[in-house]
Structure 1
Amino acid sequence: MIKGSNVTLAALSDNVGSVIVGLGWGSPTGEGDADVSVLLLNADGKVRSDGDFYFYNNPVAADGSVQLLGKTPTADGNEDRISFDLTVVPDDVDRMVVAASRYEGARFGELEHVRLSLADGAGENLLRFVIEDADSVSAVIFGELYRRGEEWKFRAVGQGYDTGLVGLATDFGVDIEDDAAAVEAQDDSADDERTDAAAAAADEPVPQGTLRAVPSPRRPGDEGGPRKAATRPRTAKKKVTLPKEAGRTLAENESWKAARLFPVSALKSDRDREMRATSVLLAVMAQVPEFGRRLTAAFGAPAGRMETFTEVSLPHGDTPRRPDGVIRVERAGKLWTALVETKTNGNALKSDQVQAYMDIAARRGYEAVITLSNDVALEGSPLVDVKIDGRRKHKVALRHLSWAEVAHQAQMLIRHEGVGNGAHAWLLQELLHYLQHENSGCHGFQNMGRAWVPVRNGIDDETLCQGDPRALEVVESWERLIRQVCLGLGGELGQKVLPVQRVKRGTDPGELRSRLADQLCLDGKLQAELRIEGTPGILAVGADLRTGRLRTSIEVPAPEQGYPLSWAKRLVRRLAEAPADLHIETLVEGESAGPRGTLERLRPEPADMLPRDGARITGFRLSLLKGMGSSRGNAESGFIRSVDHAVLRFYTTVVAHVDRVTPRRTPAKEGAAATG
C-alpha cells in the first residue's frame, strides 16, 4: 500500500473477523527500538475514555478487542504484533489508530525498514505498508482500522509527531499522568496493600518467598474490597520487582523432597511423557487465564473462556485420529478451536500426522493446528511439510511452539510480571518445575543434528566445501540454539533478549542461511549477536570450530564526559568480580588497534588501557574465551550446554556490572522524559 490509500479487509480474505497487525523496523546498530500503542476513537476522533489507550502499561482490552502481543524477532530486526478481534469492537468505536513511539530523544529516522503488515485470522499476510519519510519525528501513526457500514477497512496513514507518545495520546483526548516518582511509590504501596489485605482476610501471615511478589494489580471487574478512583494513564513504565528468596524449609534434611503437583518419577516411555506433558500444560493453560492467553493470542485466539481436552477421538476416513490435545475458546457464542500435536524427548514431528490434523481441522471448521516439540521453528523454514488444499474456503493456520518458549512464558509471568493470585502462581511454578525436570522430556532444542560431527571433522581436515548441505543444516541448528538461548536468558532476567540479524531489507531467510553456511565452510566459525534490553551494547557469541573455543564479547561505548584514565579506573572497579582472564581491548578512532590485556594484568595498572599516541578512545571491548563441548547433544560436555553456560556466565559476571557504569540511554523508559 502507499500512503493515504485504503482497502476493504473483506476484499482480501474471508477470515477477517480477527486480524494481526505487525509493526516492524530494523536498526543499523541493532539497538534501535520503539513502543507500539493503539487508540480507540469515536466519531468525533477522540477516545471515549482514557481506557481506550492501549500501550505497554495497558496492553489488553477487557473485551478482547485489542491485545498487544509483544515482540517477535525477524530477519531484519523485530516486529511488534497486535491482535484485533473486530467482531467485539464496541459499536461506538469508529476507528482504531495504530501507532509507535520512540524515547529519550530518539527519532524514527535512525531506524530502517519501518513498515506495517496485516494478516488475517489464519496468519496469511494481506497487506504491507512501508513508511519511507519518518525522519525527525519521535512518534508515527502507521495506519487505522475503521468502519464503513458493516465492513472494516484499513487506511495507510504514515503521519509523524514531534511530541512522542505523550503528545500523540493527548492529541486524541487522553489525559496523561507522568510523575514517575509518584507512580512508583503509588504502585509499590498498592502492591503491599493488596498482599497484606489478602493475608489478613485469610487470617494468615504474609507469605514468604516468591508469591509475595507475584500478584498483579487488580483489573476492572475483579472481585475484592474497596477500589481507589481510576487514575489517568501513565506512560512511565513500572519497575520489575524480582521475587524474594524462598523461606527456610521445614525439612529435617536435604534428602526430603517437596511434594509435587506433577510428579515425573513414573514416566517410563516417550508415549508416557507426551501424554503427561500435554495434559499438564493444557490443564494449567485453562486454569491460569494469563498463561493460556499468552500462549494462544499470537495464534489468533480470542480472549474468552478456555477449555482444554486430551486424547480426543475425531473421524478421519476409516480410522479415527486422536490428536494429543484440543484447545477451545468461547466468546460471544463463538468458538475458536485448535488441535495440538505434541512431541517430547527430542522426537521429531511427523508430516503425515500433522497433515491428517490439518485436513480434519479444515473439514470441521477449526482455526488452527498447534505443534509442540523440543525443536525451535525458524522463519521461512517449516518443521513439517504439509499440503494446503487451495480449493477449501476455510483456511487452517499451522503454528509451532517449542517447550523452551512455554517455559519462558511461565518464567516471565511468575518471576517478573505477576499473575492474578497466589494459586495461579503456584500452578505455574509447579508447571515450570515439571518442564525443567530431566525426566519430563520437555527441555527444548537439545541436539545439533546428524551433520554436526561430519561438519566439524570436515573443518578440521579442510575437506568441507561450499555448497555442502550439511553446513546449511548446522547453520540452521545454530540459529535455533541462539533463539533458545535468548528465551532462557530473557526468562531469567525478565528482560527482552532478541537475536540480531544485520541483513538488507527483503533478504530471503533461506538465502541468508546459505551465505552463512558458505562462510562456515571458509573460516569454520559460527557467529551470533544478542540484544538485551537495558545493556550498553550487543552481546556477541562466536564458536570457532577449528580451535574448539567459544568467545562471548560486548563493546561498551566510552562515556561522553570525564577523562580516559578515570574511565579505565572506573571500568576496572566495576569488574571487581569478573573472571581474571577477561580480555579487555581499548577501541580507538581510525584503523589502528588499541591496547589490550587481561583483567588480571590491568587491575594494578589501569593506565595501561590508554593508547600511547593519545588516540581518541571510542569504547572498550570485553571478551571471554572458553572451550566448547564436543558432542552434538546436551550432555555435560555438549556444545549446546557450553554455549548456554558461556552466555549466562558472561552476562552475570561481566555485562550486568558494566551496565551500571557506562552512560547510555535510560532503560525501560523509567521516567516521563523517556516517553518522548
Structure 2
Amino acid sequence: MQKMVKGANVGLGTLSDDVGSVVMSLGWSSPSGEGDADVSVLLLDGNGKVRSDSDFCFYNNPAVGNGSVQLLGKSPTADGNEDRISFDLDAVPPEVEQIVVAASRYGGSSFGDLNDLCLKLADSSGDGLVQFSVEDAGAVSAFIFGELYRRTGEWKFRAVGQGYASGLGGLATDFGVDIDDDEEEAREEEARGGDPGEEPVARGQEGGGREPVVPAPRAPEPPAPVTAGEATPPEPKRRARPRTAKKKVTLPRATRKTLAENDSWRTARLFPLSTLRSDREREMRATSVLLSVMTQVPEFGRRLTAGFGAPAGRMETFTEVSLPHGDSPRRPDGVIRVERAGKLWTALVETKTNGNALKPDQVQAYMDIAARRGYEAVITLSNDVALEGSPLVDVRIDGRRKHKVALWHLSWAEVAHQAQMLIRHEGVVNAAHAWLLQELLHYLQHEQSGCHGFQNMGAAWVPVRKGIDDETLCQGDPRATEVIESWERLVRQVCLRLGGELGQKVLPVQRTRRGSDPHARRAELADRLCSQGRLEAELRIEGTPGNLAIAADLRTGKLRTSIEVAAAEQGYPLNRAKRLIRQLSSAPADLHIETLLEGDGVGPRGTLERLRPEPGDLLPKGGGEIVGFRLSLFKGMGNGRGSAETGFIRSVDEAVDRFHALVIAQLDVRGARRPGGGVEAAR
C-alpha cells in the first residue's frame, strides 16, 4: 500500500490491474468513542462543478452516477469504525472528470476533535492501494479528504486534505450544488411548532417505500390571472433542492385487518418453509431465494455486491452450477454474474445455514476454481459474523498466479439488515420490489429457514463460565480469547438487528487507537475477563443522548444495560432532577438512577419507584456539581451458549430491546450535552 502525503497524486493503473471498481474507506477515532462524521461525494464536470444537484452523493442521496458511486455505510473495524464508498470507475459517466470525497460534522463539532483521520483505497480484490493520513485537520466542520480524476483516459488519485469552516452546505455550494438554507427552514419549522430539521415525508406504498429525498423539479404551475394594476405575475414556486439536514422517515401505516376467518389460516407465501427437512434443503432454498431477489430488486442486489468490488450493471444469478475440478466436478451453491459494457464480473457463492460452519477444503477448492477460470471473487454466506484479524476459514493464496481472487464473507444477519433498511426506512422505487423484499425478510426471520445469524457462543463458553465461577480461569487461557471473539460477534449482530429495526446507524464503540493490533486488543480483553469476570460493550445509536452500555457479569449472572445522560445545561439542580423524572414517566419502576458529579464522582442513587415522589433525593447532600445521570436496568442472563429460551444470546437481545424501548426512547436529546463532550444537536 502506497502512503500519500498532502498534495501528492498517483495513477491507479500503476498500482493494480483491478481498478475498474475500487472501494474507499474514511476512518477516524475519538477519545470518548462518540465522535462521528458523515461522508459525501461530488461528481464534477470539466469546469469543476456538478452537472446537476443529483451529482451530490450524501446521506439523503446515497447512490449517484447511475449507481457508479454508492455510499456503503459504516462498518466496524478492530480499532473503530469507517465509512466505505464504492466506485465503479468504468461506469462513471464520461462527462464526469473529477470525483471529490469529503466528510462533514455537525452540532458545533470539528474534525480537529477527532484522531487518526485516514483515507484508504482498495482495488476490486480487496488489496490496499493507497493510504492518506491527515495530521492537522483543524477547527473545520467539513473536510475534503481526496479526489479521483481523469487524465488522458486514466484514473488518478490526489490526497487533498482541505478543510471547510462553512460546513457541508458551504462545501456543496462551492461545487455548484443548490441546497436549501437549513437554518432558515429550521427557524420556520420552530415557528410552526415542529422539530428543527424535520421535513414532511410521504408515506410509502405496500412495502414501506418513501418518496425520493431529492425529488425531481415540479412541473410549473399555470400563472395566476393578472388583474388590473398588477405589473408582474406572481413568482413561480422554486424547485426542490437537496437538503443537508437529515430527512426523517415516516414508517408505513399499520397492516389492514385480515380477511381470514380465524387465526388458523396462514397467509400464502412466495417462499414456503413447511417442506424444509434437512440442512441441505435449507441451504439450497436460502441460496435460491436470496439470489433471485437480488436479481429482481436492483437496489438490493447492488447494495450487497458493491462492497465486494462488483460493478453497477446487469446482474444474473445461478444455483447448483457444475464446474470442473480434478476428477470430480464441484457444485458451488450459487454464482453471481454482473455484466457492464461487455465485461463480466463473477463470484462463486458458498452457503451455510442453521449454524453449520464453513468447510476450509470447500472454500479452498472454490478459490482455486475461481483463479483458474478468471473469476473475481468467492463469497461465503453463513450465520457467523466475520471479525478483522480472525478469518472464518484459512485459505492459501498462490502468489504466482497473476489473477487475484478476493474472498469475502456475508452474514445472514447483514442480509436481513439491508432488506430492513430498504423496505422500512429508505424505500424502493417499485411496490412489487418492496413486496419481494418483505417476503425475503419473512423467510429469513422464520425459525425453519436456518438463516438466523450468530447463534452459538462456542465450545469455550461453558468452561470459561465455570472457570470464572470457581476462580480457576487463568490469564492467557486461549478459551477466554474465544469467548471475547464470540462476544464481539454477538455485539455486532445486535447492532445490525437494532439498526435495521430503528432505521438508524448502530455501531459498536471501540476505545482504541487506529492501527492497533486486533489480536493484542482481544488478548487484553480476555485477561480482563479472567480477572474481573465481565464482558462489556458500548453501542452508539444515532439520535440518542449517549452510548448504550452492556455489561454481562459472569460471576453474578446479571446483565446490566445503561446509558449516561447529561443534566440540562440551564436551571437549578432540583429542576434538572425533576425534568429527568418527568421524561421517564413510562419507564420501569425498577430503573436505577445514579447522579454523576464533576470529577468522575458518583452521588446519590435509587430506583425510579422511590425517586418519583422525591426527585430531590438525587441531589448530593454535601454539594458538588451535577454533570449527568446514569440510568440502568438489570436482568438475569441465560446460562446456555446458544439462542434458545434460556440461552445467553437471547437474554442479551431482550435486555437491549427492553432498555431501548422503555428508557432510551423516552429521553429528550434536544440541546442535551453528553457527559464528557459537546452539545448533541439535530443535524
1:629 is matched with: 638
1:11 is matched with: 14
Pairing of 1:557-636 with structure 2 (within 5 A): 557-636=566-645
Partner deviation per Cα, 1:452-487 (whole Å, 9 max, x = no partner): 000011111111111111111000000000000111
Which region of structure 1 is more displaced relative to structure 2, 88-97 or 277-286? 88-97
| Alpha-carbon separation, structure 2, partners of 1:414 and 1:46 | 33
The reply on whether 1:349 has 2:344 as its aligned counterpart is no
Q: In the alignment, which of 136, 144, 155 is matched to residue 139 of structure 2?
A: 136
The reply on whether 1:111 has 2:114 as its aligned counterpart is yes
State the superposition RMSD in angstroms: 2.5
Give the residue type in structure 2 aligned to 1:131: V
Shift in alpha-carbon separation, 1:636–1:398, aligned structure 2, 3 A: same
How far did 1:188 drift? 7.3
How far did 1:157 drift? 1.0
1:456 is matched with: 465
Q: TM-score, normalised by structure 2?
A: 0.91
| Alpha-carbon separation, structure 2, partners of 1:559 and 1:569 | 11
The 8 Å contact of residues 65 and 86 in structure 1, kept in 2 or not, is answered as: yes
How far did 1:150 drift? 2.4
2:152 is matched with: 149
- Other structure's SS at 2:368 match: helix
2:324 is matched with: 315
Shift in alpha-carbon separation, 1:229–1:140, aligned structure 2, 3 A: same
| Alpha-carbon separation, structure 2, partners of 1:499 and 1:218 | 28
- Other structure's SS at 1:292 match: helix
2:202 is matched with: 191
The 8 Å contact of residues 29 and 513 in structure 2, kept in 1 or not, is answered as: no
1:491 is matched with: 500
Shift in alpha-carbon separation, 1:230–1:401, aligned structure 2, 3 A: farther
Q: Percent identity?
A: 75
How far did 1:375 drift? 0.4
Pairing of 1:84-103 with structure 2 (within 5 A): 84-103=87-106
1:217 is matched with: 212
How far did 1:591 drift? 5.0
Unaligned runs of 5+ in 1: 196-206, 666-670
The 8 Å contact of residues 593 and 632 in structure 2, kept in 1 or not, is answered as: yes
| Alpha-carbon separation, structure 1, partners of 2:10 and 2:65 | 28
The reply on whether 1:22 has 2:25 as its aligned counterpart is yes
Q: TM-score, normalised by structure 1?
A: 0.92
How far did 1:148 drift? 2.1
- Other structure's SS at 1:595 match: strand
Partner deviation per Cα, 1:434-469 (whole Å, 9 max, x = no partner): 111111111100000000000011111111111111
How far did 1:187 drift? 11
| Alpha-carbon separation, structure 2, partners of 1:292 and 1:218 | 21
Shift in alpha-carbon separation, 1:188–1:250, aligned structure 2, 3 A: farther
| Alpha-carbon separation, structure 2, partners of 1:523 and 1:236 | 44
Q: In the alignment, which of 170, 173, 177 is matched to residue 167 of structure 1?
A: 170
1:51 is matched with: 54
How far did 1:658 drift? 1.6
2:234 is matched with: none
The 8 Å contact of residues 448 and 477 in structure 1, kept in 2 or not, is answered as: yes
| Alpha-carbon separation, structure 2, partners of 1:300 and 1:495 | 25
| Alpha-carbon separation, structure 2, partners of 1:443 and 1:51 | 37
Q: In the alignment, which of 314, 324, 327 is matched to residue 305 of structure 1?
A: 314
Which region of structure 1 is more displaced relative to structure 2, 523-532 or 150-159? 150-159
- Other structure's SS at 1:314 match: coil
2:229 is matched with: none
Q: In the alignment, which of 268, 286, 289 is matched to residue 280 of structure 1?
A: 289
The reply on whether 1:362 has 2:379 as its aligned counterpart is no
Q: In the alignment, which of 646, 650, 653 is matched to residue 659 of structure 2?
A: 650
Q: In the alignment, which of 290, 301, 304 is matched to residue 299 of structure 2?
A: 290
How far did 1:9 drift? 1.1
1:200 is matched with: none
The 8 Å contact of residues 10 and 157 in structure 2, kept in 1 or not, is answered as: yes
| Alpha-carbon separation, structure 2, partners of 1:45 and 1:379 | 38
Which region of structure 1 is more displaced relative to structure 2, 632-641 or 326-335? 326-335
Partner deviation per Cα, 1:137-168 (whole Å, 9 max, x = no partner): 11111111122212221111101111111111
The 8 Å contact of residues 545 and 565 in structure 2, kept in 1 or not, is answered as: yes
Give the residue type in structure 2 aligned to 1:72: S
- Other structure's SS at 1:263 match: coil
| Alpha-carbon separation, structure 1, partners of 2:26 and 2:601 | 40
The 8 Å contact of residues 332 and 348 in structure 2, kept in 1 or not, is answered as: yes
- Other structure's SS at 1:87 match: helix
Shift in alpha-carbon separation, 1:86–1:591, aligned structure 2, 3 A: closer
Give the residue type in structure 2 aligned to 1:338: A
| Alpha-carbon separation, structure 2, partners of 1:297 and 1:661 | 36
1:418 is matched with: 427
The reply on whether 1:371 has 2:374 as its aligned counterpart is no
How far did 1:43 drift? 2.9
The 8 Å contact of residues 567 and 673 in structure 2, kept in 1 or not, is answered as: no
| Alpha-carbon separation, structure 2, partners of 1:427 and 1:635 | 29
| Alpha-carbon separation, structure 2, partners of 1:530 and 1:91 | 42
Shift in alpha-carbon separation, 1:545–1:218, aligned structure 2, 3 A: closer
| Alpha-carbon separation, structure 2, partners of 1:410 and 1:190 | 20
The 8 Å contact of residues 40 and 53 in structure 1, kept in 2 or not, is answered as: yes
- Other structure's SS at 1:427 match: helix
Unaligned runs of 5+ in 2: 222-236, 675-679
Which region of structure 1 is more displaced relative to structure 2, 70-79 or 365-374? 70-79
How far did 1:661 drift? 7.0
| Alpha-carbon separation, structure 2, partners of 1:53 and 1:456 | 52
Shift in alpha-carbon separation, 1:214–1:150, aligned structure 2, 3 A: closer
